[in-house]
Amino acid sequence: MPVALVTGASRGIGAACAQRLAADGWELALTYATDRDACEQTAATVRAAGVRALALQLDTRDPLAVDAVVDRIEQELGPLDAVVVNAGTTRDGLAIRMSTEDWQAPIQVNLEGTANTIRSSAVRMQARGAGSIIAVTSIVGEHGNAGQTNYAASKAGIMGMVRSLAKELGPDGIRVNAVAPGFIRTRLTDVLPEDHVAGLLSATALGRLGEPDDVAGPVAFLASPASRFITGVLVSVDGGLSL
């Protein structure tokens, strides 16, 4: 069976991606930063689909920790065929009032953590001449959003990283793509004011917020051989949002 790593798999988009990949027959390594119980629950759901799953704690900001986790995955499950880099965080607020810590957190987790995960995985894939890497970014990285300058910068950086890595790693048989979710029904959108949600719905062609499963489908496609001639692509999963 093929093997995939999904970071940030405790809930939301990461958990949905794990469950979709399991349904497609992938064996999975799932990582979490702090919520072990939620990640173990995702792993239990995956195992119920008849595939093996590991739930592992990982701080993606630490490149040595990433290397150790990737080594363990390959020892216990086998060579990585795909990586879904989903782990991320937000620290919203007006840029000129933001503390240094709040400014740096999304850059360190979203951008540097993504880079650490991709670099560690790609080295192993490179030796085998094959692999698919999918980074989860955001439409905020493309369009910007007031109060999310730090988050937008981190997600825009991922977009540039994906396009560059696709050129670097393509000759080695490794595909690198990204999905950019719009407003997806998760913990982050659950706290939005009703008038804000109404505005988003009116600007969305499909007239609804997305669900984590809406993102999982494109991710599973990009991980699969069905997308074998696709690399360096940013797939917007936003329901036709006009900003």
> Residue 191 above 80 pLDDT?
no
Query: Which residues on adjacent β-strands are paired with residue 54?
Result: 29
Region 154-165: mean pLDDT is: 97
Q: List, by residue number, the catalytic residues.
A: 151
At 190 the three-state DSSP class reads helix
At 206 the three-state DSSP class reads coil
What pLDDT, on the 0 to 100 scale, is given for residue 80? Answer: 98
CB 10 within 8 A of CB 32: yes
The larger pLDDT score, comparing residue 29 to residue 183, is at 29
CB 57 within 8 A of CB 36: yes
> Residue 43 above 90 pLDDT?
yes
Of 27-41, 60-74, 143-157, 164-178, the range with the lowest mean pLDDT is 143-157
- Domains of the chain (ranges; CATH) run 3-185+212-236 (3.40.50.720)
- Radius of gyration, CA atoms only, the chain: 17
In total, the chain counts a number of residues equal to 243
Categorize the per-residue pLDDT at 198 as very low, low, confident or very high, splitting at 50, 70 and 90. Answer: confident
Question: Which tens digits make up the pLDDT trace of 86-128?
Answer: 999 888 888 899 999 999 999 999 999 999 999 999 999 999 9
Region 136-162: mean pLDDT is: 92
Categorize the per-residue pLDDT at 2 as very low, low, confident or very high, splitting at 50, 70 and 90. Answer: very high
Whole-Å CA distances, 32 to 29, 42, 58, 213, 221:
10, 11, 6, 19, 23
What pLDDT, on the 0 to 100 scale, is given for residue 92? Answer: 85
Decide: pTM greater than 0.85. Answer: yes
